[in-house]
Amino acid sequence: MSRIGKKPVALVKGVSASISGQTIEVKGPKGTRSFTATDDVTLTIEGDAVKVTPRGTSKRARQQWGMARSMVDNLVEGVTKGFKKELEIQGVGYRAAMAGNVLKLSLGYSHEVNFEVPAGVTVATPKQTEITVEGIDQQLVGQVAANIREWRRPEPYKGKGIRYKDEFVFRKDGKKK
């Protein structure tokens, strides 16, 4: 039995859900998101909650049960609160600025890096050394944050680079005489 799958997903005030076949569509104050479940699970709306149940007792059905419930929960959380990733830049001369729909990064290269922000995600720079990525799609927010971080990962000797706000970077000692 899946402990996660057994719990119904509560639909908070201002959120509505509709099911057509294996696709669930959730509407909320921040937007609309949908998810198509596999044929191994059944989605039902009971009162003000969405319930996910497995079809059969196969291993795949049990795997999809917990995963489908988590996906529906993420849909509800995305359209109500949204998702947010915070990045910080460390290094002398490293900075970020928004110019329209383009994130301009100065990261010690001979040129400025221009990162095109995809639709569905909002990127802001409250300070020159901070970047916040927000949106209603958890996967897209995480992927955009990872793509920004890829331009200059934190290095272990001086700690320079782009890191997540709460990320710990293991530091190494330099050369010793």
- Looking at the structure, do residues 159 and 92 belong to the same domain, yes or no? yes
Q: Name the residue among 113, 99, 98, 101 with its Cα closest to residue 161.
A: 113
Task: List pLDDT tens digits, range 85-134.
Answer: 999 999 999 999 999 999 999 999 999 999 999 999 999 999 999 999 99
Q: Which pairs count as long-range contacts for 90-96, CB under 8 Å and 24+ apart, including other chains? A: 90/129, 90/154, 90/159, 90/160, 90/161, 90/163, 91/152, 91/158, 91/160, 91/161, 92/160, 94/129, 94/152, 94/160, 94/161, 94/162, 95/128, 95/129, 96/125, 96/128, 96/129, 96/130, 96/131
- Looking at the structure, do residues 74 and 89 belong to the same domain, yes or no? no
Tokens 């908070």 belong to residue? 12
pLDDT of residue 5: 85
pLDDT-based confidence at 3, cuts 50/70/90?
confident
> Has residue 2 got a pLDDT over 90?
no
- Looking at the structure, do residues 152 and 89 belong to the same domain, yes or no? yes
pLDDT-based confidence at 177, cuts 50/70/90?
confident
Its domain, for residue 124, covers: 83-164
Q: What is the CATH number of the domain that holds 104?
A: 3.90.930.12
How crowded is residue 68: how many other Cβ atoms within 10 Å of its Cβ?
27
The angle at the Cα of 77, spanning 80 to 46, to the nearest 5 degrees, equals 95
- Looking at the structure, do residues 93 and 57 belong to the same domain, yes or no? no
